[in-house]
Amino acid sequence: MVVKSVGVMSVAKILGVMYATIGLIFGLIISLAAMVGGLASMQSELGAEGGMMGALFGVGAIVLLPVIYGAMGFIVGAIAGLIYNIFAGIVGGIRIEVQQ
């Protein structure tokens, strides 16, 4: 079996979802670090203002990173699908061996 072309939008959607999931994981890690930093800054001279900034940064990471990563994954997936189709037409597709 040879994959001669791929659906560009299919590849873009899959990569968009995959990258959004990765963005969510990174957002959660950054949010956790921001909460820890916010709690630590409440004990320092920054007071509650520093803690609030850390909390806002953490919430922003959970919201913004999946959106940004997802959009970038979608765009890169579309470009990669187009490039694959061009090169598969020139040199042939990827040979896949499947067993039933």
pLDDT above 90 covers what percent of the chain?
51
- Residue 46 pLDDT class (50, 70, 90 cuts): low
pLDDT, tens digit (0-9, with 9 covering 90-100), for 50-90: 566 666 777 788 889 999 999 999 999 999 999 999 999 99
- What is the 8-class DSSP label of residue 7? -
Q: Judging by beta carbons within 10 Å of its beta carbon (0-12, 13-18, 19+), is residue 1 exposed, middle or buried? A: exposed
Q: Does residue 63 fall inside a structural domain?
A: yes
User: Helix H segments across the chain?
Assistant: 8-42, 47-91
- What is the 8-class DSSP label of residue 44? S
How many structural domains is the chain composed of? 1
Most confident range, picked from 16-20, 24-28, 87-91: 16-20
Contact predicate 31/58, CB 8 Å: yes
Check: pTM over 0.85? Answer yes or no: no
Q: Does residue 100 fall inside a structural domain?
A: no
Q: Does residue 55 fall inside a structural domain?
A: yes
Task: Tally Cβ neighbours within 10 Å of residue 80.
Answer: 15
Q: Does residue 77 fall inside a structural domain?
A: yes
Q: Does residue 27 fall inside a structural domain?
A: yes
Q: Does residue 79 fall inside a structural domain?
A: yes
Q: Does residue 78 fall inside a structural domain?
A: yes
Rounded CA-CA distance 1/51 in Å is 57
Q: Does residue 16 fall inside a structural domain?
A: yes
Range of the domain at 22: 2-95
Which of 59, 71, 70, 19 has the alpha carbon at shortest distance from 35? 59
